[in-house]
Amino acid sequence: MNDLSPKSRSGGRAARRAARAAPLADHLRPIRPGLEGGTYNPLTPAQVERIHQGALDALEQIGLADAPPSGVKYLTDAGAIEGEDGRIRFPRALVEDTIARANRTMTLHARDPQYDLDLSGSRVHYGTAGAAVNLVEVDGRNYRESTVQDLHDAARIANQLDNIHFLQRPMICRDIPDTIEMEYNSVFACVSGTGKHVGTSFTDTTCVGPAMEMLHMIAGGEDAWRARPFVSNSNCFVVPPMKFAPESCEVMEACIEAGMPVLLLSAGMSGATAPSTIAGAIMQATAECLAGLVYVNAVKPGAPAIFGTWPFGLDLRTGAMSIGSGEQALLSAGCGQMHRFYDIPGGAAGGASDSKLPDMQAGWEQMCSNLSAGLSGVNMVYEAAGMHASLLGFCLESLILGDDIIGQTLRCVRGIEVNDETLALDQIADVCMNGPGHYLGTDQTLSGMQTNCVYPTFGSRTSPKEWVELGKPDLLALATARKEEILAMKTAAALPPDVEAAVRARFNIHFPAWAD
């Protein structure tokens, strides 16, 4: 349980008003990064064990195909077996030994240390992710190809949102045709826009070197980078079902050698590239990520890796992705239980929507999977805000509104504290026998109004009369105004001018520098 119970304050009502006007200390905030989940368990312990044993059976009997030559060597040297059919099979003992020695104390560093993420236990963090090819424009209800400027704008906005704890690249820079330039521009657009941890991907190994050179420049040298790597590699190392993706595996090897944390991402489609049953999809993703964990530790024992089980749902009537479904919420929550079973840092999808715009459908879909993933204790909830159209469109206004959704989700993750103070027996006695018969304005109510409650930034709790008097404010209009306000300011996470100038002199950056 997350113990954030309010402590008594002294100094009178005026002092309390002044205290409420000041920013809360981190330990008094009603929500914060790293609250512990794990209270929602859609799987019983016996079912978790069956999924684990099924994954071990799949790895031992079926194995994975298509490992690159380098991967075959790493894995067979570690104890995996290459069959005559070319598939790599994993003895149970090898997998269990790898689980036992895997890195469990991972910190995902941020360029600004205040945003470092502790991934131990069931600590929950929310952020963006994906590879949307379109930006959703709410003004005009249009989709257009996303650009590097859009990506930079998303990073700048995310830097201002308290409940967006990290930024994994949510959009593809469709305006940069050269692959190497696109990849290092993606890194620069994100890192120069936010001080939070950044995730990115690389098409092939030729893209890794230039990006690492850039990151060394930004960090202040290779040693400084290796001490605090503030970018991780989102790596689709498998092509479900049960095949390695050779080029991605080679990228993974290069990133590990370069000191970059890796997200082992298995993204099977339930009913297409994964079993149509929820249990089967979870089991296959678990098996594939266990294979990835063996791979990572064969390259470098103890290398930081996130167990990225991301099975997606499918609408079996049409074959369309159903990432906003209740089934998706269960898939991610079940994966969260498997992460906790192994006690390994894990990530899963949550908060994405099939809706094309930030509307009522988007709201229920985003809350459903964000809540289930957080309550289940997923360390990294990816795609938690801004993602629409089954991962094809990203919306900046939705990113802003998603911050409100995640705030309410985190309050649920925090849970209910039960102790003498929160049971409030003395307060009940005082109000009922000595006081006015209500709790409005009591010291306990006033002292807890900030530490117990999460208030929406844009969600309206006014009466209909007040709503009319305020001009009938519209959520999307408010979000657009906030977007424009943020983008009109220089980001607080801007790189030092000399560093930015050096990077721009060395690399072909495709968006302009901020003009003071």
Q: Which two structure tokens, joined as six digits, stand for 380?
A: 């990294």
**Mean pLDDT score across all residues of the chain:** 94
Written as one string, the DSSP assignment of 58-99 is: HHHHT-BB---HHHHHHHHHHT-EE-TTS-EE--HHHHHHHH
Model pLDDT for residues 178-236, shown as the tens digit of each residue: 999 999 999 999 999 999 999 999 999 999 999 999 999 999 999 999 999 999 999 99
* Helices 278-299 and 45-61: angle between axes, nearest 10 degrees: 60
| H helices present in 258-384, as ranges | 278-299, 326-342, 360-376
Report the SS3 class of residue 418.
coil
- pLDDT of 100 strictly over 80: yes
Separation of alpha carbons 60 and 52, rounded Å: 12
- pLDDT of 31 strictly over 70: yes
Separation of alpha carbons 411 and 484, rounded Å: 28
* Helices 396-414 and 148-159: angle between axes, nearest 10 degrees: 30
* Helices 278-299 and 69-78: angle between axes, nearest 10 degrees: 90
| H helices present in 300-424, as ranges | 326-342, 360-376, 396-414, 420-423
**Model confidence band, residue 10 (pLDDT cutoffs 50, 70, 90):** very low
- pLDDT of 419 strictly over 60: yes
Separation of alpha carbons 98 and 291, rounded Å: 10
- Cα–Cα nearest to 399, from 326, 480, 455, 328: 480
Model pLDDT for residues 158-194, shown as the tens digit of each residue: 999 999 999 999 999 999 999 999 999 999 999 999 9
* pLDDT value of residue 24: 73
Q: Running DSSP on this structure, what letter comes out for residue 23? A: P
Q: Which amino acid is at 64?
A: L
CA 104 to chain centre: 18
Q: Which two structure tokens, joined as six digits, stand for 230?
A: 């503030």
Separation of alpha carbons 163 and 31, rounded Å: 9
- pLDDT of 443 strictly over 90: no
* pLDDT value of residue 14: 63
pTM (2 decimals)? 0.95
- All structural domains of the chain, each given as residue ranges with its CATH number in brackets, are 104-276+300-414 (3.20.20.480)
Separation of alpha carbons 363 and 351, rounded Å: 9
Q: Which amino acid is at 270?
A: S
Model pLDDT for residues 111-165, shown as the tens digit of each residue: 999 999 999 999 999 999 999 999 999 999 999 999 999 999 999 999 999 999 9
